[in-house]
Amino acid sequence: MNRVTVNGVTYEAPAGSSISVVNGVAKINGVAVDAPVKSDLKIEITGDLMNFSSDNGDIVVNGNIHGNAQVNGELHTTGNIGGNVNCGTLACGNIGGDVKCGSINCGDINGNVKAGSVIRR
């Protein structure tokens, strides 16, 4: 089981879940959870995910994202991202797909890169 913490409230989610926080609604595998979503969104996830999306906030994933990640804020992962990434600021291990971010700090990138500022490998 994964642990998903949204603004201090923790939920359990099956390993490999898809998680989204869009338009003020937090969902785990497409099912809405009663999360305290507000403008200064903070999300921390422990465990591997399939996909992740959020229309704002700072996201920390202590694990891998096996699919795609779309975040309008900052995304920090301790592991790798297997698919494509679109975000404001990114820090992670390796990336399997394409990346479009304001700034990137990561390992190997297997796809195309579009960055507004610094890319570190």
pLDDT tens digits, 63-111: 999 999 999 999 999 999 999 999 999 999 999 999 999 999 998 889 8
With 70 as the cut, is the pLDDT of residue 121 above it? no
What's the predicted TM-score (pTM) here? 0.88
Check: CB of residue 14 under 8 Å from CB of residue 29.
Answer: yes
With 90 as the cut, is the pLDDT of residue 23 above it? no
Distance from C-alpha of 105 to C-alpha of 83, rounded to nearest angstrom: 16
Q: Of 68, 35, 34, 33, whose CA–CA distance to 50 is shortest?
A: 68
Q: Of 79, 29, 36, whose CA–CA distance to 53 is shortest?
A: 29
Q: Of 60, 58, 61, 59, whose CA–CA distance to 50 is shortest?
A: 61
pLDDT of residue 120: 66
